[in-house]
Structure formats: C-alpha cells, structure tokens
C-alpha cells in the first residue's frame, strides 16, 4: 500500500498549511459556508458556489480544504463551538448540567438543521477543537456525578444519541416548514382535516390528536423533548445510585 493510500481522509488528520493566502482564510471560508448552509441547506453547498459567495475561485478554497468532505468537517466543528456545557464541580449539579448540555445541543441543531443530516458522514469530526472541548466538558459532568471514566463516556453517548435522534426529525420538519413559507401553526391547521380523517377509526390516536388541538406547537415540541430527556436522566440517576449510592 502506498503512502497516499494510507492517508486518512480528514482535515484533522493532516498538517495545516502554514502559508495562508492573505485574501482568504480558512475561518472566512468556514463562516461563509455556515451562512450558506443555514440559508439554503446542504444541497446548495459546493466549492464553486462557496467560492462565488466569497468572490474567489474554487481553486482558492482548495488551498485551505482538500474537498467538500473536509469542509463539512470544519463547519460541523464550527457550530459545535456554540454549545453550552456548564461546569460540573459539584456532584449534586450533574443532572442540571447534563440537561443544559442536552438542551444546548438541541438548540444548536435547530439553528443549523443541516447538521443533523451530516453527522454520520463527517470523517474524524470528533478530533475537531470544538468537539473535543465540548466532549471533555461533558465527560467532566458525568465523572463529577460519580461515574467511572468508561461509564461516563457511555452516559454521555446515551444522552447525545437521544438528542440527535429527536432533533434529526425535528430539524427536517422545521426545514420543510421553512420551504413552505407557512408558520407551524398555519401548517398544522391546514393539515388538520386530513389528519382527523386518517385517525377517525383509531380511537386512541383520535383522542391524542384532539387533546393537542389549540396548543402551541412549539411548546409541545419542547415538552416532548424535555419529557424524553428527563426519562433518560432518570435512568442514569438510577444507575448512578446502584454503583455509588449517590443521587442528584
């Protein structure tokens, strides 16, 4: 196998070029790419399109990123820099800190709905500076609670998996709403007749659907997310008590 074949395809696995092009930096490229993704979605992102927005040719971008995959790694790490993970020095505050971290991850994903669709294709994204910093702080939360190093990692992964699982569909739904030009309430009201007809012969679904009528859809999404997160944290709290005799 040649040296080229052995290289790992990731922006974080190769040395950063020392000579930067003065007129265009990696930071400018990443910032503009995030703006493009937020405004138009993943389908709109290309090196040529990004170069046009920056007033530079695609060749100029390749001085900083080898390809679109590396660019995706960079933008994912950039938005992870927005996460808020509280300090966790007090063992009694671990649950509040873990909950705030989870809510912050959800909020970031809904601000940047494209991120949910690329998390499985971002190479070595976990080696990015923001992701490593956030992971370190989240691990500190679970270790402060009393989990071992190994189990703290599993607890963190469990919480993140819940958040990503919930927000992936939520982000896709909100992206669809944005394309429709309608508010969430307008969309649901327009859908209501068809939905009521679909569940007419299913009494449990009909009852649940009727109970939601008139409620603020955003508040319902928030409540649904918080309910599930609380149950995940309940399970971790039970586990923590079983191994340490401690709790919240």
What is the percent of the chain with per-residue pLDDT over 70, rounded to a whole number? 88
What is the percent of the chain with per-residue pLDDT over 90, rounded to a whole number? 46
Determine the average pLDDT of the residues in 77-105: 93
Determine the average pLDDT of the residues in 66-71: 87
Per-residue pLDDT band at 17 (split at 50, 70, 90): low
C-alpha angle 225-143-108 in degrees, rounded to nearest 5:
35
Instruction: Count CA atoms within 13 Å of residue 151 on its CB side.
Output: 13
| Averaged confidence pLDDT in the chain | 86
Co-location of 21 and 101 in the same domain:
no
Per the domain annotation, does 121 fall within a domain?
Answer: yes
Helix orientation angle between 94-111 and 68-80, rounded to the nearest 10 degrees: 140
Return the CATH number at 28: 1.10.10.60
pLDDT value at position 74?
92
pLDDT value at position 248?
47
Number of domains in the chain: 2
User: Of 66-75, 115-124, 189-198, which range is least confident?
Assistant: 115-124
Instruction: Count CA atoms within 13 Å of residue 66 on its CB side.
Output: 14
Return the CATH number at 161: 1.10.357.10
Co-location of 134 and 38 in the same domain:
no
Res. 1: pLDDT tops 50: no
In the chain, which ranges are continuous DSSP H helix? 3-6, 26-40, 47-54, 58-61, 68-80, 94-111, 129-145, 149-180, 184-198, 203-212, 217-244
Q: Are 116 and 167 in contact (CB under 8 A)?
A: yes
pLDDT tens digits along 140-150: 999 999 999 99
Determine the average pLDDT of the residues in 32-55: 90
Res. 162: pLDDT tops 90: yes
Per the domain annotation, does 192 fall within a domain?
Answer: no
Determine the average pLDDT of the residues in 54-76: 85
Higher pLDDT: 118 or 5? It is: 118
pLDDT value at position 154?
96
Res. 18: pLDDT tops 60: no
Q: Going by C-beta distance under 8 Å and a sequence separation of 6 or more, which residues neighbour residue 85?
A: 97, 100, 101, 104, 134, 137, 138, 141
Query: 3-class DSSP state for residue 15?
Result: coil
Q: Are 61 and 50 in contact (CB under 8 A)?
A: yes
> Which residue, among 165, 157, 152, has the nearest Cα to 116 in the 3D structure?
165
Tokens 């690329």 map to which residue?
A: 118
pLDDT value at position 121?
63
Co-location of 52 and 157 in the same domain:
no
Rounded Cα gap, residues 242 and 247, in angstroms: 9
Per the domain annotation, does 20 fall within a domain?
Answer: yes
User: Of 73-82, 119-128, 181-190, which range is least confident?
Assistant: 119-128
Per the domain annotation, does 109 fall within a domain?
Answer: yes
Per-residue pLDDT band at 224 (split at 50, 70, 90): very high
Per the domain annotation, does 52 fall within a domain?
Answer: yes
Res. 188: pLDDT tops 90: no
- Domain extent at residue 56: 16-66
Per the domain annotation, does 22 fall within a domain?
Answer: yes
Determine the average pLDDT of the residues in 104-108: 96
Rounded Cα gap, residues 31 and 33, in angstroms: 5
Res. 2: pLDDT tops 60: no
Per the domain annotation, does 132 fall within a domain?
Answer: yes
From first CA to last CA, the distance across the chain in angstroms is: 53
Co-location of 89 and 47 in the same domain:
no
pTM: 0.84
Rounded Cα gap, residues 1 and 92, in angstroms: 53
Co-location of 109 and 61 in the same domain:
no
């Amino acid at each position: 196998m040649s040296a080229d074949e052995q290289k790992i395809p990731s922006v974080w696995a190769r040395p950063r070029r020392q000579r930067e092009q003065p007129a265009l930096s990696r930071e400018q490229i990443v910032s503009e790419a995030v703006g493009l993704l937020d405004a138009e979605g993943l389908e709109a992102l290309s090196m040529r399109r990004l170069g046009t927005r920056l007033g530079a040719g695609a060749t100029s971008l390749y001085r900083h990123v080898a390809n679109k995959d590396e660019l995706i790694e960079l933008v994912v790490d950039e938005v992870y820099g927005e996460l808020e993970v509280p300090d966790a020095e007090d063992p009694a505050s671990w649950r509040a800190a873990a909950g705030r971290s989870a809510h912050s991850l959800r909020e970031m994903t809904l601000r940047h709905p494209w991120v949910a669709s690329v998390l499985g294709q971002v190479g070595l994204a976990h080696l990015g500076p923001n992701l490593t910093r956030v992971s370190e702080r989240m691990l500190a939360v679970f270790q402060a609670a009393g989990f071992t190093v190994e189990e703290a990692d599993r607890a963190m992964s469990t919480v993140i998996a819940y958040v990503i699982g919930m927000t992936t569909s939520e982000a896709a739904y909100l992206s669809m709403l944005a394309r429709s030009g309608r508010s969430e309430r307008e969309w649901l009201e327009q859908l209501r007749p068809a939905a009521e007809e679909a569940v007419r012969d299913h009494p449990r679904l009909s009852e649940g659907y009727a109970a939601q009528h008139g409620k603020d859809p955003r508040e319902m999404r928030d409540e649904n997310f918080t309910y599930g997160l609380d149950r995940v944290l309940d399970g971790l709290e039970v586990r923590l008590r079983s191994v340490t005799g401690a709790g919240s």
